[in-house]
Amino acid sequence: MSLLVTGSIGIDTVKTPYGISENCLGGSAVYFSMAASFFGPVRLVGVIGSDCPFNLAEVFADRKVDLTGLEVRSQSKTFRWTGSYQNDMDDRTTDKLELNVLTEKPPRVPAEFKDSKFVFLANTAPALQIELLSQLNDPFFVAADSMNCWIENELDDLRGLLKNITCLIINEDEARMLADTSNLIKAAKSILDMGPGILVIKKGQSGSVMCDSNANMFILPAYPAENVKDPTGAGDSFAGAFMAYLARVDKADFESLKTAVAYGTVVASFAIADFSLKGLTSITTDDIESRFETLQKLTNF
């Protein structure tokens, strides 16, 4: 089944206890697409400025990533992000943020992409997510990401979005903020009442929790990765594998969702092993399957 992602394409500078990666390729749509490409084709919708130093056709040359939805705006500048991590790699600080082209109108969804059945609306202003979703015909499964600034400043738009998506994928701090409660289980129930039938809460090194409106719940620990150099893009890599697996099997029953969470967990564990996309571009499908089997053994009792 067809899978579409719309999100940021950026130029990142990342500082961690293991080094600095300056002006590297980043952005939610990039990480998502690279992760998803291990499972099947993905359609990318995004926008960059003429200053972007990366040739995305070369980046995805050996991947099934359709770049028909990529816009290059000659008078605009590409999104830039500078961030740093402390010894606790779950603790991230944004040192500098230049939204640039992301403050402009969203990219146009190509006509040949409008029939996409699985859709991921990566983190951006909820009003833009709603506008992008409105360009699609009749998607079967729509997942979205969000963040604290939209919860704080664009809550009405976010609530409107939640009524029109299948699944919300956010981290535990965002879940508590959105539901206005410190209890994560109560927060999950409150968010499900806002509209999405499925909620995935990312807990960093502690794994993830998934629940649905039928009172099903699934808890999975993180893969015990030895190498953690750069957590940037881990969440989007998780989402890429999660969504691409569902698109591959063309269903979203709870058993399939559980398997999708496990694949997302595994792929994210590779993404954090190196800076930018190196953790993903250095592996094969066999590597993913091997680690997936290990995770199954570790969590089966």
Backbone angles phi, psi at 94, to 5 degrees: -85, 115
Q: How many C-beta atoms surround the C-beta of residue 195 within 10 A?
A: 16
The Cβ of residue 256 has, within 10 Å, a number of other Cβ atoms equal to 15
Measured CA to CA, the distance from residue 39 to residue 292 in angstroms comes to 13
202 vs 81, 166, 266, 284, CA distance in Å?
21, 17, 13, 24
Task: Quickly count: other Cβ atoms within 10 Å of residue 143's Cβ.
Answer: 23
CA distances 71 to 28, 92, 110, 266, Å, are 16, 30, 10, 31
Beta strands 42-49 and 65-73 are parallel
Determine the pLDDT at residue 181. 96
Instruction: Indicate the fold that domain 3-299 takes in CATH.
Output: UDP-N-acetylmuramoyl-L-alanine:D-glutamate ligase (3.40.1190)
CA atoms within 13 A on the CB side of 241: 26
CB 104 within 8 A of CB 73: yes
pLDDT at 147: 86
pTM for this prediction: 0.95
How far is Cα of residue 22 from the mean position of the Cα atoms in its chain? 22
Q: What confidence category does residue 148 fall into, taking pLDDT thresholds of 50, 70 and 90?
A: confident
pLDDT digits (tens, 9 = 90+) for 63-89: 999 999 999 999 999 999 999 998 777
- For 135-147, how does the pLDDT look when each residue is reduced to its tens digit (9 = 90+)? 999 999 999 999 8
Chain segment 157-175, per-residue pLDDT in tens: 999 999 999 999 999 999 9
- Per-residue pLDDT tens digits for 200-248: 999 988 999 999 999 999 999 999 988 889 999 999 999 999 999 999 9
- Residue ranges per domain, the chain? 3-299
The residue whose two tokens read 């994928």 is: 169
Total Cβ atoms within 10 A of residue 214: 10
Q: Are 266 and 25 in contact, with CB atoms under 8 Å apart?
A: no
